Amino acid sequence: MRFNSTPDVPRHDRTLVWLRRDLRLRDNVALAAAAESSERVCVAFVLDPDLLASERMGAPLVQTFFSAVGALRAELRERASDLALLEGDPAPQLLALAARVGATAVAFNRDYEPGAIARDDRVTRALAAAGLEVRSFLDHVCFDAGEIVAQNGAPYRIFTPFARRWRDRYRVAPPLPVPSLELLDGKLLARERIGATREVPEPEAYGFASSPDYPAASEAIAARLLERFTAPGGGIEAYADHRDLPALDGTSHLSPQLRAGTIGIRTCFARAFAAREAQTWTTELIWREFYQTILARFPHVATGPFQDAARAIAWRDDDAGFAAWCEGRTGFPIVDAAMRQLNRYGWMHNRLRMIVASFLTKDLLISWQRGERYFERRLADADLAQNNGGWQWAASTGTDAVPYFRIFNPTTQGARFDPDGAFVRAMIPELDTPAYPAPIVDHAAARTRAIAAFASALGKNARQE
């Protein structure tokens, strides 16, 4: 991989690498590029109080990120360097750090979220105005949003042709992991030269409650998860059969690590394509690429439906129903068990995410945006592109080629994917007692109501799955 720099002839004496959702030393494009083009590299992370105060920020994500920040700092200190941990508006914070350590350049990896794009543009202008060279790099996905396009150059709106073109492109020129760690030898700025910066905070410092049940993130954790999953005899070999069964530990559990960036996506794809029986898991990773591309090419999805006609859907204002859904007391065991998993662990099995999203948007006819926001505040892997794409898929408002609505029957979904009730009983100990509530809605009647509401807005038919 080239970084637009000349090997063996550093262009800068010192470069700052501004980390955000890429909290790792290995397979990090911006970090590798900085190490290749500089004599010394200073790694920085900026805590943004405004971002942490956002209504879209939740305790699981904050705790997971802070654990990744702490792990990264520890590894850098083992290498006689440090993570420059700053707090405040990124532009003045980075400018002050650059002046203190004598850096003349800043490198970072690009983010596709609209708010991040606006922030990065603002910060880039401020740094450039002060005379710093600023370079950004593709790291979060394998291919940029403009690379996987149709023959006419238009972005794909449907997953299947996107995935086909993506696989064709990968076969020709796979974006392999970059050798960040090797390039860093002798390049990391000494800890004493960086000076003292703030300590890694606890979530409580920003008003979030910690929990021992939320996932931790680090490069070491991510590497262990990937090795366990992709090694011979690992979960990837049975993934196609086990991935929809929440009672089994059949998924990679890498989503919080990918969200914090403690593992590179190129590393995941390289291991996936090298493993046996990896087709299904690689498809799931390509879905991640697809939703990131959708957000980049159609940023309006961040605030509204992908399909303009879906704005006319007559959602219900049902606060009591929404509260019952949030708290896992709808009277539908698979829905309630899933929500309790989310509320306790900051994570939910992917099949369950589809089931609870369908229940909220179809059975209760409550807007997908309320569910999306709730997930954002409860998931350790909360990612705008993935979360939004999943919710809009379930709500029939997003990218979708098929002319019908997906309406899951929560009872049959539970019988199919938790046939012996092991997962439900683990999450709902009071299931067989009078304390467990009766269903808050009749599914058949709710299905009829949903079909009428969606047909009025979109003019489509529905089918049961």
Residue 425: exposed, middle, or buried by beta-carbon count in 10 A (0-12, 13-18, 19+)? middle
Location of each CATH 1.25.40.80 domain in the chain: 141-175+221-297
pLDDT of residue 294: 97
> For residue 4, is pLDDT > 60?
no
- Mark out the alpha helices in 215-349 (DSSP H runs): 219-230, 239-242, 255-260, 265-274, 279-297, 319-327, 333-345
Location of each CATH 1.10.579.10 domain in the chain: 303-464
Location of each CATH 3.40.50.620 domain in the chain: 1-140
For residues 246 and 417, is the Cβ–Cβ distance under 8 A? Answer: yes
Among 387, 391, 393, 409, the one annotated catalytic: 391
The CATH fold assigned to 303-464 is DNA Cyclobutane Dipyrimidine Photolyase, subunit A; domain 3 (1.10.579)
Is residue 113 annotated as a catalytic residue, yes or no? no
Mean pLDDT of 178-189: 95
Is residue 325 annotated as a catalytic residue, yes or no? no
Class (C level, CATH) for 141-175+221-297: mainly alpha
Dump pLDDT digits (tens) for 328-341: 999 999 999 999 99
What six digits make up the tokens of 24? 């790792």
DSSP secondary structure letters along 411-447: HHHHHHHSTT-HHHHHH-TTTTSTTSPPPSS-HHHHH
The residue type found at 43 is: V
> For residue 358, is pLDDT > 90?
yes
Dump pLDDT digits (tens) for 406-465: 789 999 999 999 999 999 999 999 999 999 999 999 999 999 999 999 999 987 544 444
> For residue 13, is pLDDT > 60?
yes
Mean pLDDT of 227-245: 92
Q: What is the pTM of this model?
A: 0.94
Query: CA separation (Å) from 440 to 104, 159, 392, 412, 415?
Result: 61, 35, 24, 17, 19
Dump pLDDT digits (tens) for 25-69: 999 999 999 999 999 999 999 999 999 999 999 999 999 999 999
DSSP secondary structure letters along 250-283: -S---HHHHHHTSS-HHHHHHHHHHSTT-HHHHH
155 secondary structure, DSSP code: B
> For residue 137, is pLDDT > 90?
yes
Residue 174 pLDDT class (50, 70, 90 cuts): very high
**What average pLDDT does the structure give for the chain?**
94
pLDDT of residue 148: 97
pLDDT of residue 444: 96
Among 75, 315, 343, 465, the one annotated catalytic: 315
Q: Report the C-alpha gap between 372 and 127 in whole angstroms.
A: 35
Among 18, 368, 376, 387, the one annotated catalytic: 368
> For residue 10, is pLDDT > 80?
no
Residue 11 pLDDT class (50, 70, 90 cuts): confident
19-28, 65-74, 239-248: least confidently modelled range: 239-248
Q: Report the C-alpha gap between 84 and 44 in whole angstroms.
A: 5
Among 166, 281, 287, 393, the one annotated catalytic: 287
Sheet holding 38-47, edge to edge: 83-87, 38-47, 12-19, 105-109, 133-137
Mean pLDDT of 273-278: 81
Residue 400 pLDDT class (50, 70, 90 cuts): confident
Among 39, 87, 133, 284, the one annotated catalytic: 284
Higher pLDDT, 404 or 338: 338
Check the CA dihedral 49-54-56-58 and report its sign: positive
For residues 28 and 180, is the Cβ–Cβ distance under 8 A? Answer: yes
Mean pLDDT of 199-227: 98
pLDDT of residue 406: 73
Most confident region among 270-274, 381-385, 396-400, 456-460 by mean pLDDT: 381-385
For residues 261 and 23, is the Cβ–Cβ distance under 8 A? Answer: yes
Among 39, 75, 350, 465, the one annotated catalytic: 350
The CATH fold assigned to 1-140 is Rossmann fold (3.40.50)
pLDDT of residue 465: 47
What six digits make up the tokens of 376? 């954002």
Dump pLDDT digits (tens) for 101-111: 999 999 999 99
> For residue 199, is pLDDT > 60?
yes
Is residue 166 annotated as a catalytic residue, yes or no? no
pLDDT of residue 401: 41
Reference 394, options 340, 341, 335; nearest CA is 335
Residue 405 pLDDT class (50, 70, 90 cuts): low
pLDDT of residue 460: 52
